[in-house]
Amino acid sequence: MKEITILYNPKKLKKKYSASFAVKMQDILVSSQNTLQFIETDDSSKAKVKDFILSECRDSIIIIIGGEDVFPFEKISSHVDDGDNIVCTDNWWVSSADDCVIPEIEISRIPDATDETEGSFLKMTENLFLKNKVRANEKTGITAEIWKKAADEVFRHLKAQGEILSSPPHTVKSKLEFDKFEGGLYFNLHGAEDESGWYGQRAKFSSYKEEYPLALLPKNISKGIKNSFLASEACFGAYVNNKKTSESIMLTALRSGVSFCIGSTATAYGTFAPPISEADMLVSIFYDEFLKGKNASLAFLNAKRIFAQKNIEKNGFLDDDDKKTLVEFVMYGNPLTEVDDE
């Protein structure tokens, strides 16, 4: 089994929760049966901690405890002049390059919400690590109608039974019902920094009147899901800063039977139709790696490496969109998760 390295900020955890929080978290994570090491850090020591990780923890899985409140994301300048200015990333901790584009070590984060209590945060973490297996024989999702061809190509990589809905005609009013769903959830929708929901978009020659219908809200994925995983290409789909659980689809998902999520903390990019690129390409490679039997964080690390390699082979370099895609996509939840073959 791989060693797990837990990164946490004791001062911020104590301020929001209690002085005993780290010990309680340790008791929960011991149940994973992996070797654990806990590393304290703060603003004054994070450079040294990063150096230690890069030199001594290359065979570890790094898990960051907390969201922006208790373990702030690293903020780097956006590689693309698209109005984002800065991008929240976890790559910084596991990349030796100045631009931290390509990670070198597996990493995930267990984020908390602004309205989190110590009890609810510990309970969520305990539930995430109760079982390191998910099912992959079911799939479902929603795509903006305008991106349907590209989304179909990505969805194809998630080899399972199921269909992807288009928005429009699907809207949040149509609801998205789950009945003991176990499998992969995929969303290729619009998102925004200050929005709780994700939106569709009608195709260029669509007959539907509403151009950007609301397609999904956090409450739509709060029941009926278990042993599942979620990937989103929504802009700001993984942006959880200053959000309550009820204001974030991913924060809700992690409490509702989803073992892990991958998504973007900023404006993401993709294509209207194959050949796919950027977010579409990264997620499709992740599906390929994960379904080969690799644990979630290794599949995610491999996906970023393969994504970079393919684009360098194609173009001779990584363009700004490539770099931003690699930096802004993060993983939340249990990185040990593997596909259950039974």
- Tens-digit pLDDT profile for residues 231-277: 999 999 999 999 999 999 999 999 999 999 999 999 999 999 999 99
pLDDT at 176: 82
Q: How does DSSP classify residue 276?
A: P
Together in a domain, 107 and 191? no
Spatial separation of the C-alpha atoms in residues 153 and 281, rounded to whole Å: 9
Together in a domain, 302 and 327? yes
Spatial separation of the C-alpha atoms in residues 165 and 187, rounded to whole Å: 9
Together in a domain, 112 and 139? no
Are 197 and 217 in contact, with CB atoms under 8 Å apart? yes
Q: List phi, psi (to 5°) of 324.
A: -65, -40
Burial of 17 (0-12, 13-18, 19+ CB in 10 A): buried
Would you place residue 179 in the very low, low, confident or very high pLDDT band (cuts 50, 70, 90)?
confident
pLDDT at 177: 81
- Tell me: the pLDDT tens digits for 286-314? 999 999 999 999 999 999 999 999 999 99
Spatial separation of the C-alpha atoms in residues 33 and 134, rounded to whole Å: 18
Residue 178 has pLDDT above 90, yes or no: no
Question: Of the residues 128, 161, 194, which one is the last residue of a structural domain?
Answer: 128
- Tell me: the pLDDT tens digits for 94-143? 999 999 999 999 999 999 999 999 999 999 999 999 989 999 999 999 99
pLDDT at 76: 95
In sequence order, the β-bridge partners of residue 330 are 263
The number of beta carbons lying within 10 Å of the beta carbon of residue 316 is: 7
Spatial separation of the C-alpha atoms in residues 248 and 110, rounded to whole Å: 14
Together in a domain, 23 and 145? no
Average pLDDT over residues 193-216: 95
- Residue 103 sits in a domain whose CATH number is 3.40.50
Left, alpha or beta for 41 (phi > 0: left; psi -120 to 50: alpha)? beta
Tokens read off for 264? 């973007």
> How many domains does the chain fold into?
2
SS3 of 13, please?
A: helix
The number of beta carbons lying within 10 Å of the beta carbon of residue 115 is: 12
Together in a domain, 52 and 159? no
Together in a domain, 196 and 328? yes
Are 63 and 28 in contact, with CB atoms under 8 Å apart? no
Q: List phi, psi (to 5°) of 154.
A: -65, -45
Together in a domain, 297 and 268? yes
Together in a domain, 16 and 78? yes
Are 286 and 298 in contact, with CB atoms under 8 Å apart? no
In sequence order, the β-bridge partners of residue 65 are 110
Residue 73 has pLDDT above 90, yes or no: yes
pLDDT at 341: 77
Residue 342 has pLDDT above 80, yes or no: no
Percent of the chain with pLDDT over 70: 100
Average pLDDT over residues 61-78: 97
Residue 31 has pLDDT above 80, yes or no: no
Nearest C-alpha neighbor of 82 from the set 278, 266, 323, 271: 266
How many helices (H) and strands (E) the chain has is answered by: 9, 16
Tokens read off for 48? 């040294």
Spatial separation of the C-alpha atoms in residues 298 and 290, rounded to whole Å: 8
Tokens read off for 213? 């219908």
Question: Of the residues 98, 128, 158, which one is the last residue of a structural domain?
Answer: 128
Nearest C-alpha neighbor of 250 from the set 224, 216, 290, 218: 218
Spatial separation of the C-alpha atoms in residues 268 and 281, rounded to whole Å: 12
pLDDT at 205: 87
One-letter amino acid for residue 206 of the chain: S
- Tell me: the pLDDT tens digits for 200-211? 999 998 889 899
Q: List phi, psi (to 5°) of 288.
A: -60, -45
- Residue 165 sits in a domain whose CATH number is 3.40.50.1460
Average pLDDT over residues 21-31: 89
Q: List phi, psi (to 5°) of 218.
A: -55, -40
SS3 of 29, please?
A: helix
- Tell me: the pLDDT tens digits for 311-334? 999 999 999 999 999 999 999 999
Average pLDDT over residues 140-163: 97
Together in a domain, 240 and 311? yes
Burial of 314 (0-12, 13-18, 19+ CB in 10 A): exposed
Tokens read off for 237? 């789909």
Nearest C-alpha neighbor of 297 from the set 79, 32, 42: 32
Domain of 68 in residue numbering reads as 3-128
Are 28 and 125 in contact, with CB atoms under 8 Å apart? yes
Residue 23 has pLDDT above 70, yes or no: yes
Question: Of the residues 128, 153, 188, which one is the last residue of a structural domain?
Answer: 128
Tokens read off for 248? 């974030």
